[in-house]
């Protein structure tokens, strides 16, 4: 079964269920899905029943839904579409990284697999989107990472791996501070309220609420 063979609502649910755990989060419950899509728990239950009947998820009473292999394939197809479209909008159409999420949410449903593959080739087969999220391959392979949250990082050198795109305002503020995927920074000090970092020799103080969106990998020293 391909992404285009299920409804847009089903595509959105499968993508949300997969994405919730990509960076170490907890599985999405029916209540969280209702909040995510602005609907009722009863409506969520009906959608999950349909997905279960299509063998796209496994439902267990009082537990979060689990993707089947078929469901995971469709979820990753939608994630691939979303992230390639975001990358195309930034690199080819001049969008800011804080402007592309909502556009991609719309366009991902309209794009065919052929168009997405053409965009992928046109961009030179990028491995990550503007926020640092890995782009799944056409074969469904997606890179995995074991990141460190900026709010939990010990003092020392790091590279910014990913910045969550959940809030456009957060993206804008972090961009102003130079906290972008690929940027080298040194964590100077962490507290419950803020994190002090050095970027290109400039000291920046980042509020904990903003720092919670930043994922790091330990810098590798040149040998």
At 84-112, the pLDDT tens digits run 999 999 999 999 999 999 999 999 999 99
Which band of pLDDT confidence, cut at 50, 70 and 90, is reported for residue 220? low
- For residues 150 and 219, the model is more confident at 150
Q: What is the pLDDT of residue 99?
A: 95
Residue 188 confidence (pLDDT) above 60: yes
pLDDT cut 90: percent of the chain above it: 90
Residue 62 confidence (pLDDT) above 90: no
pLDDT cut 70: percent of the chain above it: 98
Residue 122 confidence (pLDDT) above 50: yes
> How many other β-carbons are positioned within 10 Å of the β-carbon of residue 34?
18
**Average pLDDT rounded to a whole number, residues 56-83:** 95
pLDDT tens track for 27-61:
999 999 999 999 999 999 999 999 999 999 999 88
First to last CA, the chain: 48
pTM, to two decimals: 0.92
d(CA 169, CA 176) in angstroms, rounded, equals 11
DSSP codes joined into one string, 137-196: PTTS-------EEGGGPPSEEEEEEEE--S-HHHHHHHHHTT--TT-EEEEEEE-SSEEE
């Amino acid at each position: 079964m391909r992404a285009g063979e299920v409804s847009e609502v089903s595509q959105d649910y499968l993508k949300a269920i997969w994405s919730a755990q990509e960076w170490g989060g907890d599985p999405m419950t029916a209540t969280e899905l209702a909040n995510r899509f602005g609907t009722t728990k009863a409506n969520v239950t009906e959608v999950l029943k349909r997905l279960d009947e299509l063998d796209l998820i496994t439902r267990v009473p009082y537990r979060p839904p689990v993707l089947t292999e078929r469901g995971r394939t469709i979820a990753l197809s939608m994630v691939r579409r979303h992230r390639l479209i975001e990358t195309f909008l930034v690199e080819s159409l001049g969008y800011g990284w804080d402007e592309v999420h909502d556009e991609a949410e719309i366009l991902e449903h309209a794009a065919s697999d052929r168009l997405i593959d053409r965009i992928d080739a046109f961009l030179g087969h990028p491995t990550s989107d503007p926020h640092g999220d890995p782009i799944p391959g056409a074969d469904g392979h997606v890179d995995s990472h074991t990141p460190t949250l900026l709010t939990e990082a010990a003092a020392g050198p790091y590279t910014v791996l990913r910045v969550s795109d959940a809030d456009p305002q957060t993206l804008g503020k972090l961009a102003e501070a130079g906290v972008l995927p690929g940027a080298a920074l040194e964590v100077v000090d962490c507290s419950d309220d803020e994190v002090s970092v050095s970027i290109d020799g400039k000291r920046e103080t980042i509020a904990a609420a903003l720092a919670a969106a930043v994922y790091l990998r330990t810098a590798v020293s040149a040998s």
